[in-house]
Amino acid sequence: MIRNTKRRLEVFTFYNHTGLTRHFEKMARKGWLIHRISSLGWVYRRIEPKDIHFAISYYPKASEFDPEPSEGQKTFHEFCAHTGWMLACTTAQMQVFYNEQEDPVPIETDPALEVETIHAAIKKSFLPAQITLLVMGLLFGWIAALRLVGNPIAFLADPMSVFTVCCWSMVFWLSLLEITMYFRWHKRAEEAAENGQFLDTPDTSKVHWTAMGILGVGVLYLVLNIVGSSDQLLQFIMAGMTVYMVLLFILAEGIKRLGKRLKLSRNVNRTVTFVLVFILSWAMSMTVTFSAMELREQGILDRGEKVTLTEVPLHMEDLIEVEGTYITPLSDSESIFLKQINITQMPHFDEPHHSVGPNMEYTIIYVKMPFLYETCKRQMVKDLTQANRLNIPVEYRDRLEPTDPTLWGAEKAYYVVNDGVDWESNHYFLCYPDRFVEIKFSWEATKEQMQIAGGKLG
């Protein structure tokens, strides 16, 4: 079946009329004429392959919420039609014309006026959007940096945190690139216009496609982490939020188009669209949240973990005899940088000896990237010695005292002690070539128990 329309994702910058005209001419030679440009993609209609000239003109007073072209635009469109330039489509302040004549008279004949018109259009939509994204990228990047500095282990072991900071970093750098490239072009274009010359606009599409590729890899990695998890609650929330974002995007475009068909004024259409999108956004996010909570409450969604009980490296039963039923709460997180496992073993809450029975807890940090080894070690030492808690006097803080690492089969081993208390902590910090272990017993471990624990954890 022959399709008469084609929808594509394009990444051309709004003011890059040089690159846009070349692209439209290339598509026309393949038999596709641009028909509509929107946030849902660029739509082309099938034509007979031919050489067609294109021109981009900007009308600063226009808006994407306008129900129809203004009288000034209509007059301009009619003037262009008389010279063979037919209107292909419009989007916000940008107007796309095509001409099938072999050597048509250009629409823009005054380079100074073209630069002035583009700048006026850019100040209305493109620059505010890019500056907003730049500020948001800087803000969220700064927040992520604070989290990374404050707790690099938790941050780097969480694939969502890594994915988020990558996204906002790309937003920041792409926005900075676009703003810088535009002002650089604008200054040079004004100088060229003084000599009666038109200056081609810069093309950053390759950079955008590269960023899209990196984003695609990041999305794939995030999806694989979520799908590979047995946490059904997380899977439901992420799936729900994905559907919610896609629907919101489609509904926002649909509401705006409906307002234009109903001939609503620019301000009314903009207000109605923003208000409805806000209400729909709130309603859909609340629906996903409360649905997840209700399904979790009914036991339909299970918040499992990637690490199962059979994969727990060390059980208390490996070290001592236990009586009654024990539970093993565990949690883990993993990214391309680190994997963190937290495990606790304690008597079941129903056991009479729950409050006095032996218990054990430990954390394993698997360092996948060797260059992060020292960073992780510093963070764990900082946490263990409570160096990040200024409200605790130095004499009451824990400190690390070296102990015999051979008992644990480790490279280095430390005993966590506190001179301000009169009890033994039975708390150890172990360093292995590719991991760190923090382990705490409720009893005083023997050398034999240390060897068994070290053999299973190291």
pLDDT in tens, 109-126: 888 888 888 899 888 888
Cβ neighbour number for residue 77 with a 10 Å cutoff: 18
pLDDT of residue 356: 65
**DSSP 3-state of 58:** strand
Q: Give the pLDDT mean for 128-136.
A: 90
CA atoms within 13 A on the CB side of 290: 6
Alpha carbon distance 38, 48 (integer Å): 24
Tokens (6 digits) for 152: 């690099």
Residues across the chain: 458
Specify the higher pLDDT residue, 164 or 406: 406
**Confidence at 395, pLDDT banded by 50, 70, 90:** low
End-to-end alpha carbon distance in the chain: 62
DSSP-derived 3-state class of residue 92: coil
List, for residues 400-443, the tens digit of each pLDDT value.
889 999 999 999 999 988 766 656 678 999 999 999 999 998 88
Q: What are the tens digits of pLDDT across the range 195-219?
A: 888 888 888 888 888 888 888 888 8
Residue 274 has pLDDT above 80, yes or no: yes
Beta-carbon contacts of residue 320 (< 8 Å; ≥ 6 apart)? 358, 443, 449
pLDDT at 305: 47
- pLDDT confidence band for 350 (50 / 70 / 90): low
Provide the pLDDT for residue 231.
Answer: 64
At residue 306, does pLDDT exceed 50?
Answer: no
* Rounded distance between C-alpha atoms, residue 453 and residue 90, angstroms: 70
Helix (H, G, I), strand (E, B) or coil at 202: coil
Looking at 81-95, 271-285, 311-325, which range is the least confident one?
A: 311-325
CB 236 within 8 A of CB 292: yes
